[in-house]
Structure 1
Amino acid sequence: MTNGSAAQTPALERHHVIIVGAGFGGLGAGIKLSAKGIDDFVILDRGDEVGGTSRENTYPGVEADIPAVHYSYGHQPNARWSSAFAPGGELFAYAREVADRLELRQKIRFGTEVVSAAYDEDAREWTVEAADGSRFVARFVISCHGALSIPSRPEIPGIDDFEGKMMATQRWDHSYSVAGKRVAVIGTGASALQVIPTIAPETAHLTVYQRTPIWVMPKVNFAIPGALQKVFETVPLSQRIVRSIVSSTTAVAETVAVTHNKRLPYVTKAVAELAKAYLRSQVKDPELREKLTPTYGFGCKRPSMSNTYFSAFERDDVTLETAGIERITPTGIRTVDGNEVELDTIVLATGFKIFGLSYRIAGVGGTDLETQWDAERMASYEGVAVPGFPNFFLAPGPYGVIGFSWFDTIEICVSHAVDMIAKADADGVTRIEADADATAKFVKKMRKRVEHTVFMSPSCNNSNTYYLNKHGDAPYLRPETIVETQFAMRSASKGYVLS
């Protein structure tokens, strides 16, 4: 006799392809699958809306750090960006519009936080489990959880003891007001660069805890006239031309300043001098200016742009603290020099874990991907696939981020993944796996190229850059131009074993 109150095993939902994440990567994968005529797929996302990073990052002052004309799918341009660097709300709106326009919502399971994915060698399928107990089975998985999706929580003694309000920039609580509060921001990276000058006028006092200063250039941000928006809308080719110009310019900048830095070091040194000149024009106090001047090379960290960041530190109600944090107390922060500041609010602007996996991925023999990367160094084939994890694609994986535009990366990675799925289907095979030798060859080539990048320059030794991991590798960027990558992808299918 069955006990009616006993918990029932959740039913399996079967599909041909599972996509993890409904950010721009996941939506892009869905678009590509539909274009290939592969309609049996599902997109799983922990949130209640599409958008991923643009949905999660709603902190004060958030806006794009690449030109808005480039912040879209090439096949789905947005003619209505309000400014050269679009505010975060417009990026989120664009994601929603694309999902609606291309009828992707019916494919999405919101509120479905993936906790594990395991490969069944006998069935040649993946079983994906969610936090609510729901389970999904598919032949293929495309993981679009993002290269920068896991917030990095600092290991500061006493961080759990603080009795005031603590929040990360990626999880901003809009029900809480910082107005009239004693606020601390820990970190001076890309998010802090936008948050600090935005909230400074509201707080009673703002203390910024800086470990390493950041290179900052002025931001040429201007409103896009309605007339120009209309031109973009009625003559799409005009926007594509502008996008191509921006793409070419950033590609040259990356190639010269980052990829071939050791061969052309004087370029980044010249840019660094320009950045220092900008700092001098913004900050008159020599002591404060020295604290804000990086001692590492330009490009070791992602360079940022702002017209208001430096001037925020000249306010009487803003303090820049460069002494290391000893611990967080129940009422504030104490630094290593014994100074303790009482606080109402602490904002963690401490970045992300590079390629941090948001769920457990178990491949052949139950091998855990995160454990493998931690022990053996991060690796992938063409920034998309990993040996020992058949029918599984990352968008992107290590050495998979191309240039400064996230959309270039998305388009290349998901296109390759979908092409390989379509090839497996056309060939009538049920297993497709990156070849170990081909992967080793690709990774060797990438690591050799990385040796010429700015990240391996002695000037980056004290930068605390997230581009370098504990193994001394810089697996985030693919040190090639987008043209080189596109050319390589044409023959990338040769690096797989199909069976």
Structure 2
Amino acid sequence: MTVDVIRTEALVIGAGISGLGQAVELAKARVDFLILEKAHDVGGTWRDNTYPGASCDVESHLYAYSYDRNPDWSSTYAGQAEILAYLQGIARRRGLLSRIRFGTRVTGARWEAAAGEWTVSTAAGTTYVSRFLILGVGGLHAPRIPELAGAETFGGHVWHSSNWNHEVDLTGKRVTLVGVGASGVQIVPHLAERSSELTVFQRSAAWVLPKADVPVSEWRRRMFRLLPWTQALYRLRVYLRREKRGFGFHHRPDALRVAEPVVIRQIETHIDDPELRRKLIPDYRFGCKRVLFSNEYYPALNRPNVRVVTGRPVALKPGAVIDEEGTEHRTDVIIYATGFDVLGSFDRIRIEGLRGQLLADAWRPGPRTYNGVAVPGFPNMFIILGPHGAVPYTGVVVNVEAQARYVLRAIRATRSARAGALVVRPDAEQRFQEEIRERFQHTVWSVGGCRSWYQSDGPSGTVLWPDSTLQYRWRLRRVRQRDYDFIAPATL
């Protein structure tokens, strides 16, 4: 049997917001590249998450590439369909569609030391060979679904929020929603309005601020179209305002306390039942977990057909969910808004580096990177928006752009050195991990009294970049060549 082999200089895995951002930089630099995408459209998270009310909690103008601004955002915070259309437009206008191989699920990637190349295998059997491998797989599409005793006996409809079943009419049905994170808070109002009974399982309460979402006026959109520099200034203003707030998250956690009374007043205003009020006030500091935004969440919970159960479901039986106290809750539909396995996207691909080392093994018990983009033992491999490369208080696009440009600089550095590959030194990665640990210990994500996916059992203690994006972008402005080994292919 003949195996198709396709060669390119750089191979990008994933056509979401990170993969497209990297592709734009490679295209501008005239680097030969291809993108492998398992789905049949671009968009990643914004393609998959079509649940009712799906929207961004970062301002539209900041949740867009700086070099491809959209003057026609309809509201302060864009919804899923509008963001997806924006990403589709970029792929089309920038000529990226011809570089994308849709419906191509990557199963493995192996570094071939003698040749100084990556060999990438796919489910369809086609093999891709590239000098550089860039993982833009994201961390928000491997859903976490709890394994509950008796799940096979339930008999009703069950799905995860990232795989919404639009064929099921929820009107008049008894619905159970598990999880009140970012997706759950957006879904609750929709379910509360349509279901006859809504049971919400809340493992821990969230801090939910009002969302200042308003339509963008026509005169403002016209101004942005005619005078693009005004939109650039507006975006810069939004960015700096978020960076100012971010200082409280990563340097002055006590300063965030001023926001807590705002949320508590919202709860007291919209929730009639004192016992429910008590359930909805978090027992950890504001900012320790992701801060959420909604104007409809608390009023929806106050409806007579909605009840909040603290804790998590422990088992299922025909037509019912059983909570930690053994109480049965009759239900027709179960929807899991239980988040994602942030490393699951990497685990589904068998990635072998030097001497056959697996990335999954290198990341036990927790992920470790250098600058959030490179891993020792994996030459010419880079990660966009992976561990230690993002912050939760602002939009991810600014970091995506910094990382994509850093990768391009690394490619150019390898070429300039006439090397076959570059690989980050273990001592450089160790210093970075120690620095991350020190920074993280002073953040609200560490001292705020909660346990979240922001934390890790790895050497740094976190999967975040625990400082400002300004500082991160400054760090990635150049490639520190002394932190890398440049090696000829024949000596690898």
Could you say whether these structures have the same fold, taking a TM-score greater than 0.5 normalized by the shorter chain as the test? yes
Shift of residue 336, structure 1, vs aligned partner: 2.5
Verify the 8 A CA contact 2:223 2:230 in the aligned structure 1.
yes
Matched, 1:428 2:421: no
Label 1:243 to 1:319 Cα distance change in 2 as closer, same or farther (>3 A): same
Q: Secondary structure at the match of 1:381?
A: coil
The separation in 1 between residues aligned to 2:331 and 2:129, in whole angstroms, is: 49
Shift of residue 323, structure 1, vs aligned partner: 4.4
Verify the 8 A CA contact 1:213 1:292 in the aligned structure 2.
yes
Alignment partner, residue 395 of structure 1: 384
Alignment partner, residue 284 of structure 1: 272
Shift of residue 425, structure 1, vs aligned partner: 2.2
Given residue 156 of structure 2, which amino acid in structure 1 is its aligned partner? G
Shift of residue 483, structure 1, vs aligned partner: 2.2
* Partner residue of 1:354 out of 319, 332, 342: 342
User: 1:452-478 CA distances to partner (integer Å, 9 max, x unpaired)?
Assistant: 011221x42xx3411123459543321
Label 1:241 to 1:179 Cα distance change in 2 as closer, same or farther (>3 A): same
Alignment partner, residue 399 of structure 2: 409
Could you tell me the TM-score, scaled by structure 2's length? 0.95
Alignment partner, residue 111 of structure 1: 103
Q: Secondary structure at the match of 2:364?
A: helix
Verify the 8 A CA contact 1:212 1:294 in the aligned structure 2.
yes
Label 1:324 to 1:101 Cα distance change in 2 as closer, same or farther (>3 A): closer
Verify the 8 A CA contact 1:382 1:492 in the aligned structure 2.
no
Alignment partner, residue 14 of structure 2: 21
The separation in 1 between residues aligned to 2:146 and 2:456, in whole angstroms, is: 15
Verify the 8 A CA contact 1:152 1:351 in the aligned structure 2.
yes
Shift of residue 91, structure 1, vs aligned partner: 0.3
The separation in 2 between residues aligned to 1:425 and 1:56, in whole angstroms, is: 37
Alignment partner, residue 409 of structure 2: 419
Shift of residue 273, structure 1, vs aligned partner: 2.2
Given residue 352 of structure 2, which amino acid in structure 1 is its aligned partner? A
Alignment partner, residue 141 of structure 2: 149
Verify the 8 A CA contact 1:271 1:298 in the aligned structure 2.
yes
The separation in 1 between residues aligned to 2:56 and 2:221, in whole angstroms, is: 18
Matched, 1:134 2:126: yes
Q: Secondary structure at the match of 1:185?
A: strand
Q: Secondary structure at the match of 1:68?
A: coil
Written as runs of structure 1 = structure 2, the 5 A alignment for 1:55-204 is 55-204=47-196
User: 1:298-355 CA distances to partner (integer Å, 9 max, x unpaired)?
Assistant: 1111100100001111111111111442212232201122211222211010011123
Matched, 1:294 2:286: no
The separation in 1 between residues aligned to 2:139 and 2:473, in whole angstroms, is: 20
* Partner residue of 2:219 out of 227, 236, 255: 227
Verify the 8 A CA contact 1:68 1:81 in the aligned structure 2.
yes
Q: Secondary structure at the match of 2:41?
A: coil
Alignment partner, residue 254 of structure 2: 266
Given residue 7 of structure 2, which amino acid in structure 1 is its aligned partner? R
Shift of residue 195, structure 1, vs aligned partner: 0.6
Q: Secondary structure at the match of 2:363?
A: helix
Matched, 1:370 2:378: no
In the alignment of these two chains, the number of paired residues is: 483
Shift of residue 482, structure 1, vs aligned partner: 2.1
Alignment partner, residue 486 of structure 1: 473
Q: Secondary structure at the match of 2:295?
A: coil
Shift of residue 71, structure 1, vs aligned partner: 1.0
The separation in 2 between residues aligned to 1:196 and 1:103, in whole angstroms, is: 39
User: 1:431-453 CA distances to partner (integer Å, 9 max, x unpaired)?
Assistant: 11111111111111111100101
Given residue 115 of structure 2, which amino acid in structure 1 is its aligned partner? A
Shift of residue 373, structure 1, vs aligned partner: 0.9
Could you tell me the TM-score, scaled by structure 1's length? 0.94
Task: Point out the more displaced range, 67-76 or 426-435.
Answer: 426-435
Alignment partner, residue 218 of structure 1: 210
User: 1:114-148 CA distances to partner (integer Å, 9 max, x unpaired)?
Assistant: 11111111111111111222211111111000133
* Partner residue of 2:456 out of 448, 457, 469: 469
Unaligned runs of 5+ in 2: 488-492
Q: Percent identity?
A: 33
Given residue 106 of structure 1, which amino acid in structure 2 is its aligned partner? S
Alignment partner, residue 453 of structure 1: 443
Unaligned runs of 5+ in 1: 1-7
Label 1:21 to 1:324 Cα distance change in 2 as closer, same or farther (>3 A): closer
Shift of residue 160, structure 1, vs aligned partner: 4.2
Shift of residue 288, structure 1, vs aligned partner: 0.7
Verify the 8 A CA contact 1:216 1:306 in the aligned structure 2.
yes
User: 1:248-268 CA distances to partner (integer Å, 9 max, x unpaired)?
Assistant: 111111122x111xxx34312
Verify the 8 A CA contact 1:59 1:172 in the aligned structure 2.
yes
Alignment partner, residue 330 of structure 2: 342
Verify the 8 A CA contact 1:144 1:396 in the aligned structure 2.
yes
Given residue 492 of structure 1, which amino acid in structure 2 is its aligned partner? V
Alignment partner, residue 381 of structure 1: 370
Verify the 8 A CA contact 1:212 1:464 in the aligned structure 2.
no
Alignment partner, residue 33 of structure 2: 41
The separation in 2 between residues aligned to 1:85 and 1:161, in whole angstroms, is: 41
Verify the 8 A CA contact 2:178 2:335 in the aligned structure 1.
yes
